[in-house]
Amino acid sequence: MTDRYCVFGNPINHSKSPLIHEEFAQQTQQPITYTAELAPVDGFAQAWQHFVAIGGRGANVTVPFKGDAFALCDTLSHRAKRAQAVNTLIVGGNGRTYGDTTDGVGLVRDLGYHRVPIKDKRVLVVGAGGAVRGVLEPLLVEQPRELVVVNRTADKAAQLVRDFADLGNLKGGGFDAVEGQFDLVINGTSASLSGDLPPLPDKLFTQHAWAYDMMYGAEPTVFLQWAGPRGAKLLDGLGMLVEQAAESFFLWRNVRPETAAVRSQLRQSLNFSD
């Protein structure tokens, strides 16, 4: 019997998730189908209920529905409660909906894949939206010396500090809160999609620093184009996408797929797409 999974979003045609999960299924010989589903902006809960009614066993959730998914779950993982967002839905044996978030795990695993050190390092995270909220706990678990969150609206960054301060040395505020140099700078804003650049100081990076953008594309993002000439080693969010998908796949199937070949295939598909 083939189990049905999908990714919900709006828009959704651009999603790489069907390609990723098809590769995972072939690799692990898991009998699943995985599709991309366009949900109405004001009708996510109904779209999920319909999917379950026709045999759906689980789903990924992307923009703009991670908050809606959080709200409809019967039970939530600890990390989903922290993030106040869900990107992975699972139908339990009793028909109840369980929600988890794998974005933060995906980020940390991608950093580990590239051997980017976090422990005892100064880390700067730019942005204070849902993407950042979803990664703060996994980053703090890695025990950075200091993690600083900055945002155009300082109050939003300050709220994140209040919400996560029990997990480690966390500070935050407006862009004027950026002081000194950092070993890892993560752009968690969507500014790259519109070609905007956060107002960051030129002398931001330590000698062996990394710059990471959660966005990705065939070409380096505006943030990475800015960071490269300032001495940082560069990573985009494609690996995070693959790793968060692998964690979702594990939650659904209790099998952990290998990600290296899928990373390579996805990168090639970006480079050779029109």
Where would I find the beta strands (DSSP E) of the chain?
3-9, 32-38, 56-61, 75-76, 88-91, 97-100, 122-126, 146-150, 170-173, 182-187, 205-213, 233-235
At 192 the pLDDT is 73
Per-residue pLDDT band at 274 (split at 50, 70, 90): very low
Cis peptide bond N-terminal to 64, omega within 30: yes
Residue 77 labelled as part of a binding site: no
Banded pLDDT at 272 (limits 50, 70, 90): low
Identify the pLDDT of residue 273.
47
Q: Which amino acid is at 122?
A: R
Q: Which residues are catalytic?
A: 66
| Residue 156 annotated in ligand binding | yes
Q: Is 264 annotated as a binding residue?
A: no
pLDDT, tens only, 173-188: 999 989 999 999 999 9
How confident is the model at residue 19, as a pLDDT? 94
Residue ranges per structural domain of the chain = 3-100+239-272, 104-235
Q: Is 68 annotated to bind ligand?
A: no
| Residue 96 annotated as binding site | no
- pLDDT tens string 116-165: 999 999 999 999 988 899 999 999 999 999 999 999 999 999 999 999 99
Query: Is residue 10 annotated as involved in ligand binding?
Result: no
Residue 205 pLDDT greater than 50, yes or no: yes
Average pLDDT over residues 54-83: 94
Give the separation between CA 236 and CA 148, rounded to whole angstroms.
20
Average pLDDT over residues 58-62: 96
For residue 183, give the nearest of 128, 239, 124 by alpha carbon: 124
Question: What's this model's pTM, rounded to 2 decimal places?
Answer: 0.92
Question: What is the CATH T-level fold of the domain 3-100+239-272, as seen in this structure?
Answer: Rossmann fold (3.40.50)
Do the first three CATH levels of 3-100+239-272 and 104-235 match, i.e. the same topology? yes
Q: Is residue 8 packed enough to be buried (19+ CB in 10 Å), middle (13-18) or exposed (0-12)?
A: buried
Asked whether 198 and 118 are in contact (CB, 8 A), the reply is: no
Residue 270's CB is within 10 A of a number of other CB atoms, namely 15
What is the tens place of the pLDDT at every residue in 208-246? 999 999 999 889 999 999 999 999 999 999 999 999 999
- Banded model confidence at residue 269, pLDDT cuts 50, 70, 90: confident
> Is residue 215 marked as binding?
no
* Percentage of residues in the chain having pLDDT higher than 70: 99
In CATH, the number for domain 104-235 is: 3.40.50.720
Rounded CA-CA distance 223/229 in Å is: 11
Edge-to-edge strands, sheet with 233-235: 170-173, 146-150, 122-126, 182-187, 205-213, 233-235
Residue that has been written with the tokens 């107002």 in this structure = 199
143 is in an annotated binding site: no
With a cut of 80, say whether residue 59 has pLDDT above it: yes
